[in-house]
């Protein structure tokens, strides 16, 4: 017989966790009922898929029609029947994101999102929606349909790293945030190390923007390593009518990075993306700095729990994700995620942490000299020195 005792009342500090537990239980009950009526596409934990952008995606929740709400850590130990009797039944619904990881490409955006997904109050689209750059004309309902169902109080997130360098993205996201400021009522008390609310704009509603930044020189090399790897993959495919005769070699890194006169070419996207101060200036026309958090891509690898603590604070989340969720994997050379109940840590796929091609030290030095003033300007704007110079 089910245990029908009332769950013990929590102390005042635990009340938020208790409320979440109650909501999780109620939603799980509702979702289970819905799932028996509808065909449910269940996607196995850790199964991999290709997203809108062709990026390797971990656990593509966005495509599942009837989704079960993940059982949060806080929800253990309460009898489901009891909870449903006591609380209004709340059905999970798809909401537009209240926080977005907007960049930067090759910064560590997938690692950050996957770590955040361990949090019971965070649910995220698995694939990159590319809504505010490539798919804007598809409309908000298309965008919403990519999001996983959430309960009130849960945070909906997505990541699309190209937003940070997309000219139209700040105005578009700001407009969305103004329309959707009702959804997430978190404990928004963190300034997130972004330097306070003193930015040039007062817009953007409650939207929180997270940018993972990485040394622009290593970032550019990582970007180039991806281009090389994609080209190698293409060469391994049998030629089709469309690709036959198109086999072009990727030029060397140096050939792409420098113009004929020897100056650095900011027209090459791998160089341009690293001009963080210039991109940020556009965002600050639409969002105050306090709505943006800059995560160190380097520290995400060397001290992931510390960066996750900052991110959770900034997003108004309980500090659930900590040291115990990260285990360094010597073979992968990166921290991997330790999920509760999971036996082995889960590492990101082989497109994350690729070997980089060797670039001449002199080439690297010229790029460092090029980026130095831009980096200094970026540090000044955000009030933090990332130590790349």
Ligand X SMILES: Nc1ncnc2c1ncn2[C@@H]1O[C@H](COP(=O)(O)OS(=O)(=O)O)[C@@H](OP(=O)(O)O)[C@H]1O
Which residue ranges make up the site for ligand X (CB under 6 A)? 55, 105-111, 161, 222, 225, 300-301, 334-335, 348, 352-354
Residue whose token pair is 């990485």? 214
Query: What's the min distance (Å) between Cβ of 280 and ligand X?
Result: 17
Nearer to ligand X, 69 or 146 (CB): 146
Q: Find the residue with minimal CB distance to ligand X.
A: 222
- In order, the DSSP letters of 227-267 are HHHHHHHHHHSPP-TTTTT---PPPPHHHHHB-TTS-B-TT
Nearer to ligand X, 20 or 109 (CB): 109
Nearer to ligand X, 20 or 162 (CB): 162
Query: What's the min distance (Å) between Cβ of 162 and ligand X?
Result: 8
Nearer to ligand X, 244 or 330 (CB): 330
Query: What's the min distance (Å) between Cβ of 368 and ligand X?
Result: 17
Quick one: tokens of 26?
Answer: 């109620």
Nearer to ligand X, 21 or 169 (CB): 169
Enumerate helices (H) and strands (E) in the chain, giving the number of each.
Answer: 12, 11
Nearer to ligand X, 111 or 147 (CB): 111
Quick one: tokens of 384?
Answer: 């933090």
Nearer to ligand X, 105 or 286 (CB): 105
**Spatial separation of the C-alpha atoms in residues 221 and 212, rounded to whole Å:** 16
Q: Are 247 and 235 in contact (CB under 8 A)?
A: yes
**Spatial separation of the C-alpha atoms in residues 113 and 53, rounded to whole Å:** 16
- DSSP three-state, residue 328: strand
Query: What's the min distance (Å) between Cβ of 115 and ligand X?
Result: 8
CA angle 15, 20, 22 (to 5 degrees): 95
**Spatial separation of the C-alpha atoms in residues 30 and 154, rounded to whole Å:** 16
Quick one: tokens of 140?
Answer: 């908000």
Query: What's the min distance (Å) between Cβ of 342 and ligand X?
Result: 15
Quick one: tokens of 383?
Answer: 């009030």
Nearer to ligand X, 28 or 55 (CB): 55
Query: What's the min distance (Å) between Cβ of 216 and ligand X?
Result: 13
Radius of gyration of the chain (CA): 22
Query: What's the min distance (Å) between Cβ of 359 and ligand X?
Result: 13
Burial state string for 83-117 with b = 16 or more CB within 10 A and e = fewer than 16: bbeeeeebebebbbbbbbbbbbbbbbbbbbbbbbb
Query: What's the min distance (Å) between Cβ of 329 and ligand X?
Result: 9
């Amino acid at each position: 017989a089910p245990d029908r005792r009332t769950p013990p009342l929590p102390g005042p500090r635990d009340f938020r966790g208790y409320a979440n537990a109650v909501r999780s239980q109620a939603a799980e009950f509702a979702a289970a009922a819905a799932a028996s009526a509808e065909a449910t596409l269940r996607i196995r934990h850790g199964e991999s898929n290709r997203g809108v952008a062709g990026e390797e995606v971990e656990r593509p929740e966005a495509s599942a029609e009837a989704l079960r709400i993940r059982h949060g850590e806080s929800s253990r130990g309460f009898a489901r029947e009891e909870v449903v009797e006591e609380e209004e039944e709340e059905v999970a619904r798809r909401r537009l994101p209240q926080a977005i990881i907007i960049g930067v490409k090759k910064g560590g955006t997938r690692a950050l999102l996957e770590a955040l997904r361990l949090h019971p109050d965070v649910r995220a689209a698995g694939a990159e929606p590319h809504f505010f750059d490539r798919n804007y004309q598809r409309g908000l309902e298309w965008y919403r349909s990519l999001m996983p169902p959430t309960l009130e109080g849960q945070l909906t997130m997505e990541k699309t790293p190209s937003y940070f360098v997309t000219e139209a993205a700040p105005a578009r996201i700001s407009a969305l945030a103004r329309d959707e400021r009702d959804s997430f009522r978190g404990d928004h008390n963190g300034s997130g190390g972004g330097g306070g609310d003193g930015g040039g704009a007062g817009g953007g509603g409650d939207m929180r923007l997270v940018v993972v930044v990485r040394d622009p020189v290593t970032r550019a090399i990582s970007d180039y390593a991806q281009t090389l790897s994609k080209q190698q993959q293409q060469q391994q495919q049998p030629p089709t009518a469309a690709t036959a005769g198109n086999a072009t070699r990727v030029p060397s890194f140096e050939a792409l990075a420098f113009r004929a006169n020897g100056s650095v070419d900011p027209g090459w996207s791998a160089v341009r993306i690293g001009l963080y101060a210039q991109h940020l200036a556009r965002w600050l026309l639409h969002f105050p700095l306090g709505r943006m958090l800059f995560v160190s891509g380097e520290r995400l690898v060397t001290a992931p729990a510390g960066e996750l603590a900052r991110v959770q604070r900034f997003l108004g989340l309980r500090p659930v994700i900590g040291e115990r969720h990260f285990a360094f994997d010597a073979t992968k050379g990166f921290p991997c995620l330790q999920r509760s109940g999971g036996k082995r840590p889960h590492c990101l796929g082989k497109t994350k942490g690729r070997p980089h091609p060797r670039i001449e030290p002199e080439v690297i030095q010229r790029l460092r000299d090029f980026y130095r003033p831009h980096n200094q300007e970026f540090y000044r704007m955000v009030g933090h020195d990332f130590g790349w110079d």
